[in-house]
Structures are given as C-alpha cells and as structure tokens.
Chain A
Amino acid sequence: AQTVTQSQPEMSVQEAETVTLSCTYDTSENNYYLFWYKQPPSRQMILVIRQEAYKQQNATENRFSVNFQKAAKSFSLKISDSQLGDTAMYFCAFRDSGGGADGLTFGKGTHLIIQP
C-alpha cells in the first residue's frame, strides 16, 4: 500500500513571500501520478498541480511549481509571491496507474496561513 507523508502540519508566511510545502511518499510502483490539492476554509477542494511520474520535467502552474525527485520519492510544492487567497489546507496525493486503489491516497495535509 502507498503512503503519503506531509511533515509540516502548519506553516505561516507573509504575503508575497515564497513558501515550500514538503511531501514524501512510499510506493513500489514505477508509474504513478502525484497531485497537490488545495482546500480553502469551508470551500471545496481544487487541484493545484499534477505530476506524472514518468515525466522528468517538473510541473508548473503560474505561481505554483513542484520539485519532483523520483529517486528520493519527494514531491514538494513551491508557491511564489504568496497571496492571502492561498490560505488553505494543502493535501499531497498519490494515485497509481491502475490495478490498485483508484481513489487518491492523501497525506495528512499542511495548513498554510498567509499573513498580510
């Protein structure tokens, strides 16, 4: 079974700063997918960024980028120029390519607070 570990329960940074959220995972699969989801307070969960394990290039979406280290099984999220609206729970999630669990395996989450 896969496990996903987020070692930072809570982080707080000032607006406009850059922040990095860490995520490590454990799997015996070679092909899989990794995601960062954002869940703002009392609002629905949305996808921030997605990475395919067979792609070496790190995914980027505007101010959000990942540092994917497959050998180290690490998948960190960097948020540049942080904004107040980035305040949310951030979940790292894993999904294998098929044959196993089809839902997402989530980490415990990191509560990110952006201070004005």
Chain B
Amino acid sequence: DTEVTQTPKHLVMGMTNKKSLKCEQHMGHRAMYWYKQKAKKPPELMFVYSYEKLSINESVPSRFSPECPNSSLLNLHLHALQPEDSALYLCASSQDRWGGYEQYFGPGTRLTVT
C-alpha cells in the first residue's frame, strides 16, 4: 500500500470558522509533511514531522496548527483563515526525514476561504 489519503477533498469555510484537515498513511513512514499549493504554482513546504515531533515550521502563520497524533496520522487545524489562504493543501510522507527518500503525496484538500 503506497497510498496517502486526505480528507476532506474539498472544504469551504468562513473566516471565523474552525476546521481540520486530515492525512493518513499506512506505509510505516516516519516523516510527514504539509505543503500549500496555489494554482499553477509549485508546492510550498509548511510543516515537517519526524517521528511524530514537529521538526520544521517554515514560518507559517499561527492560524495553521499542525498535529501528529500518531505515526500514521497528521492533522492541520485551521482557524481564522484569510481568503488568501485558499489553496490546495497537500500531505506527503517519506520513509524518513533524512536522506533522499521519495515523498508520497496525497490527492490534497482544496480549501476555499470565503
């Protein structure tokens, strides 16, 4: 099983809402990532978890709050977002944080902030 799943596929939320994105993998990978991708742009790294600990936060605003409940799950909690936060949010995982292991991407959650 080389699949990374993400739910929901689509999400529309107002600027005062609180919502969460979910990501799951069952490949035994120990590194998981959140990326943000705007239309016709490359993905931009937001967070890296390694062995369930936050490893890198690329200076992401605090309205985005990641959580890694266990080695298979990754959540992204959203609160008080802005319209410019509308984007495709991609989750990825790799065997380990170190080295050149392939990152497997999920299909993404398309977020619209109204």
Residue from B31, B40, B108 within 8 A of A102 (CB atoms): B31
Min CB distance A29 to B, Å, is 12
Are B99 and A45 neighbours in the complex by a CB distance under 8 Å?
Answer: no
Task: Tell me whether B61 is interfacial, beta carbon within 8 Å.
Answer: no
**In the complex, A76 Cα to B45 Cα: how many Å?**
23
Are B107 and A97 neighbours in the complex by a CB distance under 8 Å?
Answer: no
Q: Count B interface residues, CB 8 Å.
A: 25
**In the complex, A32 Cα to B98 Cα: how many Å?**
11
Set of chain B residues within 8 Å of A50, measured between Cβ atoms: 100, 102
Are B42 and A103 neighbours in the complex by a CB distance under 8 Å?
Answer: no
Residue from B42, B102, B104 within 8 A of A91 (CB atoms): B42
Are A104 and B103 neighbours in the complex by a CB distance under 8 Å?
Answer: yes
Min CB distance B42 to A, Å, is 3
Set of chain A residues within 8 Å of B55, measured between Cβ atoms: 102
**In the complex, A87 Cα to B49 Cα: how many Å?**
32
Set of chain A residues within 8 Å of B48, measured between Cβ atoms: 102-103
* Majority secondary structure, B binding face: loop
Min CB distance A72 to B, Å, is 20
Task: Tell me whether A98 is interfacial, beta carbon within 8 Å.
Answer: yes
**Which residues of B (65-114) have their CB < 8 Å from a CB of A?**
90, 97-100, 102-108
Q: Which residue of chain B lies nearest to A89 when distances are taken between CB atoms in the complex? A: B40
Min CB distance B73 to A, Å, is 19
Q: Count A interface residues, CB 8 Å.
A: 25
Set of chain A residues within 8 Å of B50, measured between Cβ atoms: 102
Are B107 and A33 neighbours in the complex by a CB distance under 8 Å?
Answer: no
Are A44 and B106 neighbours in the complex by a CB distance under 8 Å?
Answer: yes
User: Could you write out 15 A-B pairs with CB less than 8 Å apart?
Assistant: A33-B100, A37-B105, A44-B107, A45-B43, A45-B105, A89-B40, A97-B98, A102-B33, A102-B48, A102-B98, A103-B45, A103-B48, A103-B58, A106-B42, A109-B42
* Closest 4 A/B residue pairs (Cβ): A33-B100, A103-B45, A106-B42, A45-B105
B residues near A (Cβ < 8 Å) are: 31, 33, 35, 40-43, 45, 48, 50, 55-56, 58, 90, 97-100, 102-108
